[in-house]
Amino acid sequence: MLFWLSKTFWIIAAPANLALIVAVLGVLLLWTPWRVLGRNLAALGITVLVVFAVLPIGSWLALPLENRFGTPDPMPERLTGIIVLGGSENVSQTRLRGIVAVNGAADRLIAFGDLARRYPEARLVYAGGSGSLRPGALREADVARQALQIMGVDTDRVVFERESRNTYENARNLKPMVMPTTGDTWLLVTSALYMPRAVGVFRKADWPVLPYPVDHSQGFGPPRLSLDWDLAGRAGSAQQAMREWIGLVVYRVLGRTSAVLPDSASDQ
């Protein structure tokens, strides 16, 4: 139920969607006795959309999340295992076209292939089911298996977890499958934006992990103001970052993560 509510809530509550709904409602009210309210709502909705188009809100929100954890330097000489979280696969297009399709987070798969080659003795784990409200038979892990085979990775080395729907279930489902022990060194690979929540979830599950963030979209310094007017791009970036901050807070309230923003220097 909670998973279903989180998905449907965001469809309506996503800032750009909500601003558009408010603006359209305002326009419709212009032909009713509530025309003054309509003008105010239309103005509010349009103003919010313009703000998203002009200001780098997404970059401001994403920067502290993406830069919370850096790539290990130096890398460990030995790893117990490497965990890669799903989300880089385009399951619907793979099902429709019959060929492997990925999305903008394909850095996760590339990193997995590279790390598997560099650490031939490490255990390999891929976790990803479906974040859809109506999942089909094909899951993220299934597409990842095909992609890794194309990349030349020996998928017989890989443990594929294909039932999880979110980061919390990734850790919950994986732990009894791989049975990590004290003193292990597990590397966790996911997009930099989601790494703080992922690290917090694994720490809460008493599974310390070494972050290996990929799929960065931000630099190191503060974003510069510019009149870009890329409404779709900037609104999408802002909504993605806002959703992640909300997810961090919700996970903390539900007791699913060790902290809203986990300490980059702690494994506890």
Per-residue pLDDT at 6 exceeds 80 = no
Determine the residue type at 107: D
CATH number at residue 85: 3.40.50.620
Q: What pLDDT band is residue 231 in, cutting at 50, 70 and 90?
A: low
Q: What pLDDT band is residue 202 in, cutting at 50, 70 and 90?
A: very high
- What pLDDT does residue 224 have? 67
User: Per the domain annotation, does 123 fall within a domain?
Assistant: yes
How many structural domains are present in the chain?
1
Q: Are 2 and 133 in contact, with CB atoms under 8 Å apart?
A: no
- What pLDDT does residue 198 have? 96
User: Per the domain annotation, does 232 fall within a domain?
Assistant: no
Q: Are 230 and 53 in contact, with CB atoms under 8 Å apart?
A: yes
- What pLDDT does residue 268 have? 42
User: Per the domain annotation, does 174 fall within a domain?
Assistant: yes
- What pLDDT does residue 229 have? 63
Mean of the pLDDT values across residues 89-110? 90
Q: How many CB atoms lie within 10 A of CB 37?
A: 14
User: Per the domain annotation, does 225 fall within a domain?
Assistant: no
Cis peptide before 211 (omega within 30 of 0): no
Instruction: Report pLDDT digits (tens) over 137-196.
Output: 888 999 999 999 999 999 999 999 998 989 999 999 999 999 999 899 999 999 999 999
Whole-model pTM: value is 0.84
- What pLDDT does residue 67 have? 92
User: Per the domain annotation, does 47 fall within a domain?
Assistant: no
- What 3-state class would DSSP assign to 90? coil
Q: Which two tokens stand for residue 175?
A: 């732990």
DSSP secondary structure string, 214-254? Answer: E-----SSPPPP-----HHHHHHHHHHHHHHHHHHHHHHHT
Cα–Cα distance measured from residue 23 to residue 39, given in angstroms and rounded to the nearest whole number: 9
**Structural domain that includes position 108:** 75-215
- What pLDDT does residue 117 have? 95
- What pLDDT does residue 131 have? 61
Q: Give the long-range contacts of residues 254-263, CB within 8 A, separation 24 or more.
A: 255/204, 256/168, 256/200, 256/201, 256/204, 257/197, 257/200, 257/201, 257/203, 257/204, 258/200, 258/203, 258/204, 259/200, 260/200, 261/64, 261/68, 261/196, 262/68, 262/196, 262/199, 262/200, 262/203
R_g (Cα) of the chain, nearest Å: 21
Percent of the chain, pLDDT > 90? Answer: 56
Instruction: Report pLDDT digits (tens) over 52-70.
Output: 777 888 888 999 999 999 9
Q: Are 22 and 45 in contact, with CB atoms under 8 Å apart?
A: yes
- pLDDT: is 129 or 192 the higher one? 192
To the nearest 10 degrees (0 to 180), the angle between helices 231-253 and 35-54 is 90
- What pLDDT does residue 51 have? 81
Per-residue pLDDT at 265 exceeds 80 = no
User: Per the domain annotation, does 118 fall within a domain?
Assistant: yes
User: Per the domain annotation, does 172 fall within a domain?
Assistant: yes
Q: What pLDDT band is residue 18 in, cutting at 50, 70 and 90?
A: confident
Per-residue pLDDT at 3 exceeds 60 = no
User: Per the domain annotation, does 264 fall within a domain?
Assistant: no
CA-closest candidate to residue 91, choices 38, 134, 124, 60: 134
Q: Are 81 and 174 in contact, with CB atoms under 8 Å apart?
A: no
Q: Are 162 and 174 in contact, with CB atoms under 8 Å apart?
A: no
